[in-house]
Amino acid sequence: MKLIILGCYSATPRAFTNPTSQVLDIQNHLFLIDCGEGTQVQLRKHRIKFARIRHIFISHLHGDHFFGLPGLISTLVLLGREAPLHVYGPKGIKEAITLLLKLGNSWTNFPLVFHELSSREPQLVFEDEKVEVHTIPLDHRVYTNGYLFREKPGPRKLDIDAVLRYNIDRCYYRNIKNGRDVLLDTGEWISNEKLTSDPPVPGSYAFCSDTVYKPGIIGQLKGVGVLYHESTFLEEHKDLAVKTKHSTAKQAAEIAAGAGAGKLILGHYSVRYGNLEVFREEARTVFPDTELAEDGKVFDF
């Protein structure tokens, strides 16, 4: 599982910072999460193949989180894309994007599939044999969701020495990796625990976009491996966080600590702060394993 930060600042783009966008590389999927202005330029800069992106998850309809999407879709048309593109986001995103395509007479030559969201409860929005994605209902000035990405448990690891010792035929290997016991020709049952070891712990990643401090999400985040949580302000500007429905670095750390997360990544910084290190210092007073998102930074888990 790898996370590529394309942009992690709030509000307007600047010459050296970009609004929110990131790519999660998990189980051969490249999921694009949010799509602020400049996203496609950042994708080019970091040599991420557009063709591999088949699912885009938009948290909410504020410009710094989705204004890059129309441009990206237009570029995909010019590139001659044929594979379907699935876009998950708040109700209204289909109208916003298709209106621009209509006015520009630039309809896609590939299936553009919108999955509009309106539920205030967690929803399963994507699932295949390896990964599932759930919404994380947040509390911002407009309808907003975070997203929880979870790997599904893999097969058990075969102990080749053990299966050879018991002279077990290869035709049983798949069943053994799927947790089945084995009946030998002698009539003896061999338990699966003697033939396998546990698979790697499934990875998980939670993206918590713009939100006021919301302890109610902790239950859904229990045990998450990596948590990205917005930290627009520091505690000294907590009044602004409440007013604008954002969070502080300390509050993000409290969510991570309550959820028992493996690691916290901070982002969505207000441009009023010149030194990002103060965000990490504040969060680490509550949750030591805290890292800072930065444009272009890659986290390999």
Q: Is 221 helix (H, G, I), strand (E, B) or coil?
A: helix
The Cα–Cα gap between 195 and 70 comes to 53
The reply to whether 55 sits in an annotated binding site is no
Q: Is 82 helix (H, G, I), strand (E, B) or coil?
A: coil
> Distances in Å between the alpha carbon of 4 and those of 26, 47, 57, 216, 295?
11, 11, 15, 28, 9
The reply to whether 86 sits in an annotated binding site is no
The Cα–Cα gap between 58 and 93 comes to 9
The Cα–Cα gap between 88 and 116 comes to 6
Instruction: Write the CB contacts of 187 (distance below 8 Å, at least 6 apart in sequence).
Output: none
The reply to whether 295 sits in an annotated binding site is no
The Cα–Cα gap between 293 and 228 comes to 9
The reply to whether 139 sits in an annotated binding site is no
* Nearest of 270, 296, 301 to residue 64 by alpha carbon: 270
The Cα–Cα gap between 51 and 180 comes to 39
Fill in the amino acid letter for 231. S
Torsion of CA 212, 216, 220, 226, to 10 degrees: 40
| DSSP structure class, residue 264 | E
The reply to whether 229 sits in an annotated binding site is no
The Cα–Cα gap between 299 and 163 comes to 38
Instruction: State the catalytic residues.
Output: 64
Binding-site annotation, residues = 60, 62, 64-65, 140, 210, 268
Binding-site annotation, residues for Zn(2+) = 60, 62, 64-65, 140, 210, 268
